Amino acid sequence: MIGLSEASDTNFDMFEWYPRYQSCQRYFLDQAQHSVAVQALSAFLNIQLPFQRPVNPIFNSTSESASTPAVSAGPRVGTGPASSTSTAHPLPSISLFPYIRRLVATGMDFPGVLHGFFGDDWGTGVGPLHEQERRNYLFAAKSGGWAAVKRDYDMPPLETIPFLRPLQGPLDSEIETAERNWSEWLAMEDWMVGPRAPDILHDSSSQASRSRGSRG
């Protein structure tokens, strides 16, 4: 699975990732939210789908929105200039983060479920966000008790999370990365960053850089 750690890799292309994320948004709006399976699971997890919102519901990826005017389709890097009459209607304003968070915290973030919500491009489109959210969930559990974590994952006033489950199917590498990032954060709290960072963090950072370089 591709993670946000790859964003520091020179091989990571954010402009290549973004269309995949938009593909996930389109699938979610046009297909997933209208399927019985996604509707049933969302009801069980107490989270509204875009078309169910009482205010400004979004039924599909082509829904008109007064707050999202057409924008010029500017030239891509390495291509010729775009036509002055070319315009593109952006996707309706919809974030996939609340759904990723709800699936992670309830232990429902299985590959099949993620595919059902976000389509064939979920691995490259929401995979980085999913991996980071799993790490955030570990951090939340370590930072406070059950009640504090539940408050963090509630969406007041009506979309409170019905239950919490421990992180499902964690890998050793995932836990090790979380431990390293947690140590970096503790160092940050003590202002032990940059030249003041503990030697072990310098060593792990150098090792990660060498590992990324060997993959290039």
Tell me how far CA of residue 196 lies from CA of 90, 181, 207, 208, in angstroms.
45, 16, 18, 19
185 pLDDT band, cuts 50/70/90, is very high
On the 0-12 / 13-18 / 19+ scale of CB atoms within 10 A, 210 is: exposed
The sign one gets for the Cα dihedral 70, 75, 81, 82 is negative
CA end-to-end span of the chain, whole Å? 17
For the chain, what percent of residues have pLDDT higher than 70?
Answer: 75
Question: Average pLDDT in the 42-52 region?
Answer: 98
pTM of the model: 0.78
List pLDDT tens digits, range 5-27: 444 455 667 899 999 999 999 99
Please state the domain extents for the chain: 1-61+91-167, 171-216
51 pLDDT band, cuts 50/70/90, is: very high
Helix or strand run (H / E) with residue 87: strand 87-88
Q: Are 162 and 45 in contact (CB under 8 A)?
A: yes
Amino acid identity, residue 47?
A: I
pLDDT digits (tens, 9 = 90+) for 84-101: 333 456 788 899 999 999
